[in-house]
Amino acid sequence: MTAPHTTAIGRPDAGGGAPITTTIRIRLRTPARLRNLELLLLLVALGVGASAIALVDLGALGELDGAMLTLAALPAGLVLVLHVVERVVAPEGDPFVVPIATALTGLGIAMIHRLDIAEGYEGWSAYAVRQAVWATIAIVLAITGLVLVRNHRVLQRYRYIAMFLGILLLLLPVVPVIGETGANADVWVRIGFFSFQPGEFAKILLAVFFAGYLVTARDSLSMVGRSFLGLRLPRARDLGPILVVWVLSMGVIVIQKDLGTALLYFGLFLVMLYVATGRGSWILIGLALFAAGGWLATRMLPYVQGRFANWLDAFNPEIYDREGGSYQLVQGIFGLADGGLIGTGLGQGRPDIVPLAESDYIIASLGEELGLIGLFAILSLYLIFVARGFRIGVAGQDDFGRLLAVGLSFVVGLQVFIVIGGVTRIIPLTGLTTPFLAAGGSSLVANWIIVALLLRLSDAVRQQPHAVVESGGAA
């Protein structure tokens, strides 16, 4: 391969002036190159996961008990199947998202396995065993999604169905019979033996809806309205959608007692609205609305007050000791502190002291045993993952695809911020899962579906002739 071609490969949007022949040659060569890069990264990611599980065995048991490693080979094998499927149905998909999701899922399984050992869970009651099975299911669903959805624009057609399904899923936990009241937030649904967190799926459906809706409605949302103090204020009737989403978020806070989910959806909507319309006034209106709602909630809802008190005054013995107090928060921080810069080493710390160490608090567990260095590595992985999604947003041709990519990747980034920010006391602690890492099938499946969608969207970007990239980018 000659040098000019290589230049064009890394930046498909930069080759607009190149002769047609060059473009064709690149299109013939690039897929194999991208997929080979992905395969290389994938092998590294699988290596990271496998060695983490092995180190947990050695650190916590003192010997290599291969059972977990054997079981984890199942999702690992399926990730390779996904890779092969990509070569056929999404040859130009982004080469980073799958390796990153694989590495994080592997690290998650390793840490959950470590906590199982500490708690003495074995067999089917071991969270890690279930997590590995869920990872398998999640990857199968990702493969299925990638094969079925060959053109993402189809999704735009179903935007209102997505909205109804999304809202329905959000409301499920409060439906009598099937809704489950958990420790804090009512975010679980149980049907027979099967229980899941519908909110995790709702975030995808809502992203689809927001993208579809905003693409059609953004002209009226961005063009009309009076200017005031340098801001172009929207017309009163255009306030409808944001008010609906606001009411929905407040409903989640009040009825489901779930601060984190509400923040997640509202933040998602606000960012997508801003990206679609380019109007800063929406951000201000949205923040004002959420601040007002949040302020009302802190005044009227005892559980929100409790969360704020735990956050602001965590080390106060009174708050630490009381029911629903800051015990978990403080113990998580102690765990992190014990990890220090380099961590205690896998299997060598005491992450099991913190309640819910394998789900809500997995990041504190990882921070304790892998140290600040390990946390920075994990944060970098998330940041690259989100950046890959934003890249689609920059380079994409159709605005629906661009918005959807931005929405899906932003929601992952925001969720990471809400969880880790809660654990480390940047914001009040809320019960969300850390994407890919935390124990829980719903979260794992939902996030792997996001992986599949990002693959599909990024493949679509690169499948386009470069000339279209140029014109599409002007929107």
Q: Could you tell me if 235 and 224 are in contact, meaning their C-beta atoms sit under 8 angstroms apart?
A: yes
CA distances (Å), 327 to each of 121, 160, 205, 355, 468, in order? 24, 43, 35, 9, 56
Closest approach of Cβ 271 to other proteins, in Å? 6
The residues with which 227 forms a beta bridge, in sequence order, are: 232
If one asks whether residue 275 binds other proteins (CB under 8 A), the answer comes out as yes
Residue 375 or 439 with smaller CB distance to other proteins: 375
Rounded to whole angstroms, the Cα distance separating 221 from 233 reads: 10
Q: Could you tell me if 438 and 382 are in contact, meaning their C-beta atoms sit under 8 angstroms apart?
A: no
From candidates 337, 355, 468, 471, binder to other proteins by CB under 8 A? 337
How far the first Cα of the chain sits from its last, in Å, is 34
Three-state SS at 461: helix
Closest approach of Cβ 217 to other proteins, in Å? 15
Closest approach of Cβ 86 to other proteins, in Å? 26
What value, to the nearest 5°, has the Cα angle with vertex 349 and ends 109 and 340? 105
List of E strands, 138-296: 179-180, 188-191, 194-196, 227-228, 231-232
Rounded to whole angstroms, the Cα distance separating 430 from 287 reads: 19
- Candidate ranges 43-51, 87-95, 196-204, 348-356; the one touching other proteins (CB under 8 A): 348-356
From candidates 350, 377, 464, 467, binder to other proteins by CB under 8 A? 350
If one asks whether residue 336 binds other proteins (CB under 8 A), the answer comes out as yes
The residues with which 191 forms a beta bridge, in sequence order, are: 194
Rounded to whole angstroms, the Cα distance separating 434 from 378 reads: 11
Closest listed residue to residue 413, CA positions, set 372, 454, 441? 454
Closest approach of Cβ 418 to other proteins, in Å? 9
Residue 182 or 324 with smaller CB distance to other proteins: 324
If one asks whether residue 355 binds other proteins (CB under 8 A), the answer comes out as no
If one asks whether residue 339 binds other proteins (CB under 8 A), the answer comes out as yes
If one asks whether residue 278 binds other proteins (CB under 8 A), the answer comes out as yes
- Candidate ranges 193-201, 246-254, 274-282, 301-309; the one touching other proteins (CB under 8 A): 274-282
If one asks whether residue 320 binds other proteins (CB under 8 A), the answer comes out as yes
Rounded to whole angstroms, the Cα distance separating 275 from 393 reads: 10
From candidates 61, 81, 426, 468, binder to other proteins by CB under 8 A? 426
From candidates 163, 233, 333, 411, binder to other proteins by CB under 8 A? 333
Site for other proteins in 196-255 (CB under 8 A): none
Residue recorded with tokens 């947003």: 393
Rounded to whole angstroms, the Cα distance separating 43 from 72 reads: 14
Closest listed residue to residue 75, CA positions, set 128, 124, 125, 134? 134
**Rg of the chain on CA atoms, in Å:** 23
Residue ranges in 149-279 assigned as alpha helix (H)? 153-157, 159-171, 198-223, 240-256, 259-277
- Candidate ranges 1-9, 150-158, 195-203, 272-280; the one touching other proteins (CB under 8 A): 272-280
If one asks whether residue 303 binds other proteins (CB under 8 A), the answer comes out as no
If one asks whether residue 386 binds other proteins (CB under 8 A), the answer comes out as yes
From candidates 325, 371, 428, 431, binder to other proteins by CB under 8 A? 371
CA distances (Å), 267 to each of 168, 250, 290, 349, in order? 20, 13, 9, 35
From candidates 361, 410, 436, 448, binder to other proteins by CB under 8 A? 410
Q: Could you tell me if 324 and 73 are in contact, meaning their C-beta atoms sit under 8 angstroms apart?
A: no
- Candidate ranges 14-22, 84-92, 300-308, 381-389; the one touching other proteins (CB under 8 A): 381-389
If one asks whether residue 475 binds other proteins (CB under 8 A), the answer comes out as yes
Closest approach of Cβ 274 to other proteins, in Å? 6
From candidates 26, 110, 138, 330, binder to other proteins by CB under 8 A? 330
Closest approach of Cβ 92 to other proteins, in Å? 21
Closest approach of Cβ 424 to other proteins, in Å? 4
Residue 241 or 473 with smaller CB distance to other proteins: 473
If one asks whether residue 158 binds other proteins (CB under 8 A), the answer comes out as no
- Candidate ranges 24-32, 70-78, 107-115, 331-339; the one touching other proteins (CB under 8 A): 331-339
For residue 433, the 8-state DSSP code is P
Rounded to whole angstroms, the Cα distance separating 12 from 10 reads: 6
Closest listed residue to residue 46, CA positions, set 34, 58, 54, 57? 54
Positions touching other proteins (CB under 8 A) are: 271, 274-276, 278, 315, 320, 330, 333-341, 345, 349-350, 353, 367, 371-372, 375-376, 379, 382-383, 386-387, 390, 393-394, 399, 402, 406, 410, 413-414, 416-417, 420-421, 424-426, 473, 475
